[in-house]
């Protein structure tokens, strides 16, 4: 997490990838099996966008699970299900992560369609073709700085769309 905060993309990807497994197991255990993959994606997006609220002096795991728990409760609230999920139990689940990806219900690709065309093209270049932001920026006629801002804005927009 610390290296990711410092701008190390590879370390950030490694962390988010590992978290995805833990979160998938967490959500499945907590009675959201069918929507686990959507919740994983929503939580990863939230952790990414709110990573500046993580206090580096505090342990990382409780912070990440507090975000996951919040997303789960928010999910139940929207579904009209009331369940209590004690945060204290979250640590136990660390032992059993599930690396297999489940099926997504709410496809983020569909939500991507609601972004402005240029932003969408940029994001898809990064995501699908596996280009780095610099390459994608060149292909879509952005300056690298503007591309970074555009990708960041797109992710924020996406997080908003996921919630609605």
Three-class SS string for the chain? CHHHHCCCHHHHHHHHHHHHHHHHHHHHHCCCCCCHHHHHHHHHHHHHHCHHHCCCCCCHHHHHHHHHHHHHHHHHHHHCCCCCCCHHHHHHHHHCCCCCCCCCCCCHHHHHCCCCHHHHHHHHHHHCCCCCHHHHHHHHCCCHHHHHHHHHHHHHHHHHHHHC
Cβ closest to another protein, residue 25 vs residue 151: 151
Interface of this chain with another protein, residues 59 to 88, rule: CB under 8 A:
62-67, 69-70, 74, 87
- Determine if 50 is a binding residue for another protein (CB under 8 A): yes
The answer to the question of residue 26 lying near another protein (CB under 8 A) is: no
Which residues form the interface with another protein (CB under 8 A)? 4-10, 12-13, 16-17, 20, 37, 40-41, 44-46, 48, 50-56, 58, 62-67, 69-70, 74, 87, 101, 104, 107-109, 112, 123, 126-128, 130, 132-133, 148-149, 151-152, 155, 159, 163
């Amino acid at each position: 997490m610390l290296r990711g905060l410092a701008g190390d993309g590879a370390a950030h990807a490694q962390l988010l990838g590992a978290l995805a497994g833990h979160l998938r197991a967490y959500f499945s255990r907590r009675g959201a099996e069918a929507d686990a993959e959507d919740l994983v994606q929503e939580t990863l997006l939230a952790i990414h966008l709110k990573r500046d609220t993580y206090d580096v002096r505090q342990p990382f795991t409780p912070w990440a699970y507090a975000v996951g728990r919040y997303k789960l409760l928010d999910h139940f609230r929207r579904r009209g299900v009331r369940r209590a999920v004690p945060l204290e139990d979250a640590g136990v689940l660390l032992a059993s992560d599930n690396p297999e990806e489940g099926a997504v219900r709410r496809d983020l690709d569909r939500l991507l369609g609601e972004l402005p065309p240029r932003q969408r093209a940029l994001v898809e270049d990064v995501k699908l073709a596996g280009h780095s932001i610099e390459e994608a920026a060149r292909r879509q006629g952005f300056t690298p700085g503007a591309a970074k801002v555009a990708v960041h804005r797109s992710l924020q927009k996406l997080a908003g769309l996921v919630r609605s």
